[in-house]
């Protein structure tokens, strides 16, 4: 199990060939209270960097991008009824979707936890 981070503030927790994707604590703080999440359909395929989901908060709407190329294998249906899970548990129960990682080399282009911490420190 390894967690990677994108510059767009998505995280992906990879176990075997499947990654679980969500947004970071930093991102949910920046968005404020999340009121709506649109998740993709199981079976949809996306390339790395494609828009996959949309999050709406009291402040703004924001796109969620796929950190890797692959096929959606599961979505967090709990977000339909309780979008605030993204605020209360961004790196746990507030996950968005699971994706089969088609090209593991793409993971090397993402940041580890230390690099991401340095990245967000530079934004503040």
pLDDT in tens, 40-99: 999 999 999 999 999 999 988 999 999 999 999 999 999 999 999 999 999 999 999 999
Structural domain count, the chain: 1
Query: Please, which residues have CB within 8 angstroms of residue 10's CB and are 6 or more apart in sequence?
Result: 21, 22, 23, 24, 27, 64, 65, 66, 67
- Say what the pTM is: 0.95
d(CA 121, CA 116): 8
How many other C-beta atoms are found inside a 10 Å radius of the C-beta of residue 111? 17
Which helix (H) or strand (E) segment holds residue 31: the answer is helix 25-31
pLDDT band at 36 (very low <50, low <70, confident <90, very high): very high
- CATH code of the domain in which 91 resides: 2.40.50.100
Domain that holds residue 9: 2-121
């Amino acid at each position: 199990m390894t967690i990677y981070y994108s510059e767009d503030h998505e995280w992906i927790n990879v176990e075997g060939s499947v990654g679980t994707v969500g947004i970071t604590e930093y991102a949910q703080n920046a968005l404020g209270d999340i009121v709506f999440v649109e998740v993709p359909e199981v079976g949809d395929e996306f390339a790395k960097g494609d828009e996959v989901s949309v999050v709406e908060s009291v402040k703004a709407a924001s796109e969620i991008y796929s950190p890797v190329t692959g096929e959606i294998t599961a979505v967090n249906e709990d977000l339909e009824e309780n979008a605030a899970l993204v605020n209360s548990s961004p790196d746990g129960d507030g996950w968005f979707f699971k994706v089969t990682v088609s090209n593991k080399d793409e993971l090397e282009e993402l940041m580890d936890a230390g690099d991401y911490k340095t990245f967000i420190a530079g934004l503040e």
